[in-house]
Amino acid sequence: MTLVIRNSTELQEKVAAWKRSGMLVGVVPTMGALHDGHLSLVKTARAQSDRVIVTIFVNPMQFNNTDDLAKYPRHEERDLALLEAAGVDVLFAPDVTEVYPDGFATTVSVSGVTAPMEGEHRPGHFDGMATVVAKLFGMTQAGSAFFGEKDWQQLQVVKRMVRDLNLPITVVGCPTIREEDGLAMSSRNVRLSAEERALAPELHRILQEVAAKLRAGQAVESALAEARAELAAKGFGAVDYLDFRSGESLAPLEAFAENGRLLVALSLGQVRMIDNIAV
């Protein structure tokens, strides 16, 4: 049975009791509309913890686009059934007022790794994300937290915050789960039309093509320029960024490097897609 908790005090009491009996507690923070990507994080959490909490909270503070927030898919009943089947102990699904009560006045703002890419194109997004993740860590009191590499920059921001604030939690990064055709699973994919959905996997294919070119020694600028041209020719919309960067510091790389990562954000129809791969 998955217990649904909406109140943070009740959650803290539950977790305190688990921890008194020596159990390891893992948390998987999500915004719901769960898919196999989320469920793979749950599986890893289950393998590494005695008790697993999944949080579902569509955090208004991290949306810089009101339309994206309004259209964000919400399916709590279906999500709960999936979590039951996955053996999750607690679904923590607080209301906005539980997370941000009257008088709420604190923002967690990480600098450095938040500056490029998503930071440039979604002003305020990482402040909202870091603030809510810090709160979820405090509310769940978990010893480990599981995040997807799908949101690579987010994973680096969370790791930075945990180190900088000495938060007593281990952050575990988990590989991106893809559809058979290569499209990275995302709750926003349901908003793609049939035609857009058919085109979407080309993004991953083109990323792999760039990676192969970089490994073969092609100059970064020319490989990225060719990919941008190919994306436009195929029918993708505006590219927010397509960058080759160090996986940890996120500093731009001029040439092939061992820890290099290709990261992209672009629009396809009404949907903003992000993806990244190791090179």
Interface residue list for ligand AMP (CB under 6 A): 30-31, 37-38, 40-41, 147-148, 150-151, 174, 176-177, 184-187
Shortest gap between Cβ of 74 and ligand AMP (angstroms)? 11
* 185/223 with CB nearer ligand AMP: 185
Which one of 38, 121, 125, 204 is the catalytic residue?
A: 38
* 5/41 with CB nearer ligand AMP: 41
Shortest gap between Cβ of 72 and ligand AMP (angstroms)? 9
* 45/223 with CB nearer ligand AMP: 45
Residue that has been written with the tokens 């719901």 in this structure = 32
The answer to whether residue 121 is catalytic is no
* 150/213 with CB nearer ligand AMP: 150
Shortest gap between Cβ of 222 and ligand AMP (angstroms)? 30
Shortest gap between Cβ of 250 and ligand AMP (angstroms)? 16
| Catalytic site positions | 38
